[in-house]
Amino acid sequence: MTSELGLEKRQFGHRARLALSPAEIRLIDDQAHAARTMWNCLHAWWTMLPKAKRTLAAADAAIRQARKEIDWLGALPAQAAQAVLKTYFQAWKNCWEGRAEEPNFKARFRSAMSVDVPQGRDLQVTRVHRRWGMVNIPKVGRVRFRWTRDLPVGKTANADNRITGARLIKDALGWHVAFRITTLEAKPEPHQGPQAGIDAGVTIPLALSDDNHQDHGRPARLPNGTSDRDKWLKADEKAKLLRLERQAARLKQHRKPGQRSSNRLRAVYDQIGKLRAKAKRRATDWQHQTTTYLARTYSVLVVEHLDIPNMTKSARGTIEEPGKNVKQKAGLNRSISQEAWGRTVTMLTYKTARYGGTLHKVPAPGTSQRCSACGFTTPGSRESQAVFVCKNPGCGWSGNADHNAARNVLHLYRMGLALVPAAGRAVVRRPRRVKPATAR
């Protein structure tokens, strides 16, 4: 999407916190519950129907009928109901093309609450204050949100720079609005900086081939070897979390099977959720700052291609063939998914592109076992998770194991072994026969 003027179309999201009254919160909650029910009805309808009758038009008719017959489904605006249908079909497409699991029913407490506002013109975003903007939410009205970055609204909006839609999302902090934005920006100059390989390490979160490691100073493991899932919390917050978890366990004891959770237990769960959400925000913040720094500094970044879903799956094994060392591996996997490697790679992909650099992926096998000085894989070289000492008699290089892997990653790229240019998720998937969305 490049025009002759050296301009480039860019699409991104921006998330802002909504300031809502309790009544408005209830209205949006109702919409989200209706959207979830719509999804569940749609899924039941779809899985029940003979394959020949599963068409988009029939689904659309079913949704219209449901909105007429079940009055509280009418709380959901018609556009949002259409968006549920679209997301549902996309979920099947993602499944058929091998990107995701089959869509399933959405449970009330396990699924995130969200409502789509698919059309940007419904939003009528305006800025009313240095710190506040106003947005129109269908069937709720005009509400305030925190203004933390300049959005293309009012006179600055045109065909190329505009808000194309939004989604309302609820987390532990309450309702947020995530805007979808399209802009036309000047293409960046090619980056002139150095090249670096990155390894998602166990002892260092991001080890770099040139020793410029990125660490947040929060060890991923506790002294007893288990992974610390609350490493982003401060000591007093960890103590509070422990107290809350004990309280929840105590309250749960008094609940009979099949009985609903008490209000007090639910309040404790909410507080636990808030602490966990705080930890997650801190982790994401560090990730954003670090990946921005890396994209600004380096022209070429090379990462190893890790198949994280498969890694976490394989430890468990199957029923016939249970995995070995499941507990230890589960700990390792948890610290891998906690460092959220996939999200780091996604951020690096779009950030390097913005600063004129590139991101490449290389095949992972062996990078942590091979010596980066002599290039030989000698058994026993990786002494522990942290230390690498080359056992090749003529070499003897020693250093941090993650640093060694990062040097290998960069070497693989310089040897021309990079996979197809890394750009989003489509690259790494096995090609599969694609079935059309409707004729199935």
From the list 188, 185, 183, the residue with the least C-alpha distance to 13 is 183
Site string for Zn ion, 181-210 (x = CB under 5 A): ------------------------------
Closest distance of CB 375 from Zn ion, Å = 7
| Three-state secondary structure string covering the chain | CECCCCEEEEEEEEEEEEECCHHHHHHHHHHHHHHHHHHHHHHHHHHHCCHHHCCHHHHHHHHHHHHHHCHHHHHCCHHHHHHHHHHHHHHHHHHHCCCCCCCCCCCCCCCCCEEEECCHHHCCCEECCCCEEEEEECCCEEEEEECCCCCCCHHHCCCCCEEEEEEEEEECCEEEEEEEEEEEEECCCCCCCCEEEEECCCCCCEEECCCCCECCCCCCECCCCCECCCCCCCHHHHHHHHHHHHHHHHHHHCCCCCCCCCHHHHHHHHHHHHHHHHHHHHHHHHHHHHHHHHHHHCCEEEEEECCHHHHHHHHHECCCCECCCHHHHHHHHHHHHHCCHHHHHHHHHHHHHHCCCEEEEEECCCCCCCCCCCCCCCCCCECCCCEEECCCCCCCCEEEHHHHHHHHHHHHHHCCCCCCCCCCCHHHCCCCCCCCCCCC
Is the CB of 286 or the CB of 397 nearer to Zn ion? 397
Is the CB of 303 or the CB of 371 nearer to Zn ion? 371
Closest distance of CB 378 from Zn ion, Å = 7
Question: Considering only residues 241, 353, 374, 387, which one is a binding residue for Zn ion as defined by CB under 5 A?
Answer: 374
Q: Return d(Cα 182, Cα 391) in angstroms, integer.
A: 54
Chain centre distance of CA 98:
18
Q: Which residues contact 239 (CB under 8 A, 6 or more apart)?
A: none
Q: Return d(Cα 163, Cα 12) in angstroms, integer.
A: 10
Closest distance of CB 135 from Zn ion, Å = 59
Is the CB of 342 or the CB of 399 nearer to Zn ion? 399
Closest distance of CB 372 from Zn ion, Å = 8
Is the CB of 247 or the CB of 378 nearer to Zn ion? 378
Closest distance of CB 373 from Zn ion, Å = 4
Is the CB of 293 or the CB of 376 nearer to Zn ion? 376
| Interacting span for Zn ion (CB under 5 A) from 256-264, 314-322, 350-358, 373-381 | 373-381
Closest distance of CB 391 from Zn ion, Å = 8
Is the CB of 292 or the CB of 369 nearer to Zn ion? 369
Sort strands 195-199 and 300-305 into parallel, antiparallel or unpaired: parallel
Site string for Zn ion, 101-140 (x = CB under 5 A): ----------------------------------------
Closest distance of CB 380 from Zn ion, Å = 12
Site for Zn ion in 383-402 (CB under 5 A): 390, 392, 395, 397
| Interacting span for Zn ion (CB under 5 A) from 133-141, 192-200, 366-374, 419-427 | 366-374
Closest distance of CB 402 from Zn ion, Å = 16
Question: Considering only residues 251, 306, 373, 428, which one is a binding residue for Zn ion as defined by CB under 5 A?
Answer: 373
Site for Zn ion in 57-96 (CB under 5 A): none
Question: Considering only residues 198, 364, 371, 401, which one is a binding residue for Zn ion as defined by CB under 5 A?
Answer: 371
- The residue whose two tokens read 């026969």 is 433
Is the CB of 308 or the CB of 374 nearer to Zn ion? 374
From residue 346, how far is each of 84, 241, 350, 352, 423 by CA, in Å? 25, 31, 7, 10, 8
Is the CB of 7 or the CB of 395 nearer to Zn ion? 395
Is the CB of 337 or the CB of 369 nearer to Zn ion? 369
Site string for Zn ion, 396-435 (x = CB under 5 A): -x--------------------------------------
Is the CB of 373 or the CB of 387 nearer to Zn ion? 373
Closest distance of CB 300 from Zn ion, Å = 25
Closest distance of CB 377 from Zn ion, Å = 9
Closest distance of CB 162 from Zn ion, Å = 56
Instruction: Kindly determine how many residues on this chain lie close enough to bind Zn ion according to the rule CB under 5 A.
Output: 7
| Interacting span for Zn ion (CB under 5 A) from 37-45, 142-150, 166-174, 363-371 | 363-371
Site residues, Zn ion (CB under 5 A):
371, 373-374, 390, 392, 395, 397
